[in-house]
Amino acid sequence: MKMIMHLLVVAALSVAGFVDGATAEDVVRVRVDPEAPEWSIPNHFIGFGYETSAVARPGYFSARNTVLVQLYRTLGPQGLVRIGGNISDHTRFVPQGPAKVSPQTGTTVINRAVLVDLGEFLRATGWKAMWGLNLATGSRVEAVEEAVAVTAALGDRLQSFEIGNEVDLQPRFTGNFGAYHAAYIDYKAAIRAVLPNASFSGPDVASPTTTWAADFANAESADMKLLTQHYYRGGAQQPTATIATLLAGDPPWEARLQALRRICRDKGLAYRINEVNSFYGGGKKGVSDTFASALWSLDYMFLLASEGCSGVNLETDVNQYAWISHYTPIFRDESGRLSARPCYYGMLAFAQAGKGALLKLALAKPDINLTAYATKDSKGVLWITLVNKDLERDAQVELSLPEGYSGPEVFRLSAPSASSRDHVTLAGSEVSADGKWTPGPPEKIAVTTGVAGLRVPRASAALLRLDPR
């Protein structure tokens, strides 16, 4: 069993299944204290991340794109969109020019019209946006002009600006935080000269260490919205880009999350993993687009929340190579039709159970790849989330019912297998073609002497709802 900081006790666990004659070692036991809140999950925790080229596609980010609006609203009335990525450093703003989508080997063009549409889209969804400015191939003057236009179009839907993308990987800044910070200060001062109330986040780094994040926090803690960092489990072309790798833990990354949390605690900051998905390079077909990604995204968001993270932006839609990524939660086909991919269902499950306060949770278990989390919302409703990422073994779980709560209702996240690309359901229902989701009736489970028992099959998750009596 492993403690994720002091928030909750989680572990990877497995059992032989829900069978007669199971030994004590075969049973997973869960106990939660409803009166032990450890951390509140922000309302805007869920988010998507886009290359700037997505904005350059007229009509995509638009209040008239009703299916995309609904897919956002199905996840909740608040959230944060991050616009940036590699393309942000290959983008020009031409107020009246034609919008143009290009890969990073070319130049993407955005204009005033697509920015106005983005603002209307954000107001229709209730979400906000973080906007990345060009620090690699543009100029300070161009960045100021773009920042003014973005501010005018988005208004109160603009959360903050970022200056540059993955700045620690830019050749002129490699190994030289001081050079990057000087450029950042130069751009920020120019923008503030015309937009005195502009807010900024950063440093938007990709390196596997937290050195740049710590340096940025030391330099900018008095004048920033969020500390930002990227994460991918690995590269799509690597032989380790498999379902098994995706569903396994990543201890070095968990250690970096703990370091980020300490940095922010010491400086009174919040941090966000504002670019993340399974495998960089657009994801791995047959891995990033399967049901395994739903289990991974659900578990990953809870992992971040348990480490005091303020939110996550899952990379979506067109990538820097100008094709739709395998890992995108919202898929857009050649005709422009949108649909929810498996990863979206993990986000949807988190939207149901990942709100309110995280609670201290004790887990006694054998060795199986299952994690568990508990939350309590503003109405006192408890949610217990069990994610069985094990590909071989089912789990039999016994939940000690907290005093004052009724027996749980169960909503399952499931698919035919971890490698399934369709027939994914949450609470027995799929997301409809118009972006809506209506849960089926919950499963009732028996309670015997204060203990609720249920089976969580391999490669599936269960969300248990407990209402106060």
Q: What is the CATH number of the domain that holds 151?
A: 3.20.20.80
**What is residue 365's predicted lDDT score, i.e. its pLDDT?**
84
Q: Span 352-368, mean pLDDT?
A: 93
Judge whether residue 20 has pLDDT over 60: no
Average pLDDT in the chain: 93
Return d(Cα 81, Cα 273) in angstroms, integer.
12
Range of the domain at 324: 44-353
Same domain, 251 and 377: no
2 confidence band (pLDDT: 50, 70, 90): very low
Mean pLDDT of all residues in 15-35: 64
Give the Cα separation of 29 and 5 in Å (integer). Answer: 20
The pLDDT-based confidence of 26 (bands split at 50, 70, 90) is: low
Question: What CATH number corresponds to the domain at position 380?
Answer: 2.60.40.1180
Residue 12: which residues within 8 A CB-CB, separation 6 or more?
2, 249, 367, 368, 369, 370, 371, 389, 390
Asked if residue 51 and residue 29 are part of one domain, the reply reads: no
Question: What pLDDT is attached to residue 141?
Answer: 98
142 lies in the same domain as 266: yes
- Same domain, residue pair 8 and 80: no
pLDDT at residue 66 greater than cutoff 80:
yes
Q: How confident is the model over 395-416, as a mean pLDDT?
A: 95
Q: Give the burial string for 335-348 (b: 16+ CB within 10 Å, else e).
A: eeebbbbbbbbbbb
Q: Is residue 232 part of a domain?
A: yes
**Domain closes at, from 325, 353, 381:** 353
Which one is predicted more confidently, 366 or 7?
A: 366
Evaluate whether residue 413 is within a structural domain.
no
Same domain, 250 and 393: no
Assess if residue 417 is contained within a domain: no
Q: Is the pLDDT of residue 4 over 80?
A: no
The strand pairing partners of 384, in sequence order, are: 374, 464
State how far the alpha carbon of 11 is from the alpha carbons of 28, 292, 299, 303, 313, in Å: 11, 18, 12, 11, 25
Do the domain assignments include residue 222?
yes
The CA distance from 121 to 401, in Å, is 43
Look at residue 391 and tell me if it is in a domain. yes
Distances from the Cα of 377 to the Cαs of 73, 357, 382, 384, in angstroms? 19, 6, 7, 12
Same domain, yes or no: 91 and 223: yes
Q: What is the mean pLDDT of residues 379-384?
A: 96
How far apart, in whole angstroms, are the C-alpha atoms of residue 341 and residue 56? Answer: 23
Same domain (yes/no): 165, 227: yes
Q: Strand pairing of 202-205 and 460-466?
A: unpaired
**Same domain, yes or no, for 292 and 372?**
no
Which single residue is written with the structure tokens 């569903």? 247
- Give one word for 85, left, alpha or beta, with left for phi > 0 and alpha for psi -120 to 50: left
174 & 82 share domain: yes
Nearest to 468 by CA among 376, 349, 344, 332: 376
- Alpha helices for 126-229 (secondary structure H): 140-154, 177-194, 211-220
Q: Is residue 116 part of a domain?
A: yes
Confidence of residue 208 (pLDDT cuts 50, 70, 90): confident
What the block records as the tokens of 237 is 């072309």
- At residue 268, the 3 state secondary structure works out as coil
Q: How far apart are CA 329 and CA 297, in angstroms?
A: 10
Question: What pLDDT digit, counting tens, does each position of 233-270 carry?
Answer: 999 999 999 999 999 999 999 999 999 999 999 999 99
Angle between helices 66-75 and 342-353 (to 10 degrees): 40
Give the strand pairing for 312-315 and 46-51. parallel
Tell me the helices (H) and strands (E) count for the chain, helix number first: 10, 25
pLDDT in tens, 428-447: 999 999 999 999 999 999 99
| Tokens of residue 439, six digits | 């849960």
Nearest residue to 355 (alpha-carbon basis) of 33, 42, 47 = 42
pLDDT in tens, 113-169: 999 999 999 999 999 999 999 999 999 999 999 999 999 999 999 999 999 999 999
Q: How many CB atoms lie within 10 A of CB 171?
A: 6
The pLDDT value given to residue 44: 97
**CA angle (275, 439, 77) in 5-degree steps:** 45
One domain for residues 373 and 227: no
Residue 5 is predicted with a pLDDT of 33
Question: Which pLDDT does position 3 carry in this prediction?
Answer: 35
**pTM score above 0.85:** yes
Dist CA 386 CA 383 (whole Å): 10
Domain contains 164? yes
d(CA 44, CA 38): 18
- Asked, for residue 434, whether it belongs to a domain, the answer is no
pLDDT tens sequence across 310-329? 999 999 999 999 999 999 99
**Residue 378, SS3?**
coil
Would the pLDDT of 12 be above 80? no
Last residue of a domain, one of 319, 334, 353: 353
What six digits make up the tokens of 74? Answer: 């199905």
For residue 38, which of 387, 374, 300 has the smallest C-alpha distance?
374
Q: Over 80: is that where the pLDDT of 19 sits?
A: no
Task: Give the pLDDT confidence score for residue 463 in this predicted structure.
Answer: 98
Q: Is 128 in the same domain as 162?
A: yes
> Judging by beta carbons within 10 Å of its beta carbon (0-12, 13-18, 19+), is residue 457 exposed, middle or buried?
middle
CA–CA separation, 260 vs 208, rounded Å? 12
Give the residue-averaged pLDDT of 415-421: 98
Alpha carbon distance 185, 39 (integer Å): 33
pLDDT digits 0-9 by tens, 286-308: 999 999 999 999 999 999 999 99
Average pLDDT over residues 20-28: 57
Return the minimum-mean-pLDDT range out of 8-17, 269-278, 354-363, 446-455: 8-17
CA dist 140 and 163 (Å) reads: 10
Compute how many other C-beta atoms are within 10 angstroms of the C-beta atom of residue 184. Answer: 23
Count of domains observed in the chain: 2
Domain identity same for 118 and 188 = yes
Cα separation, 167 vs 173, whole angstroms: 7
Domain boundary among 353, 378, 396: 353
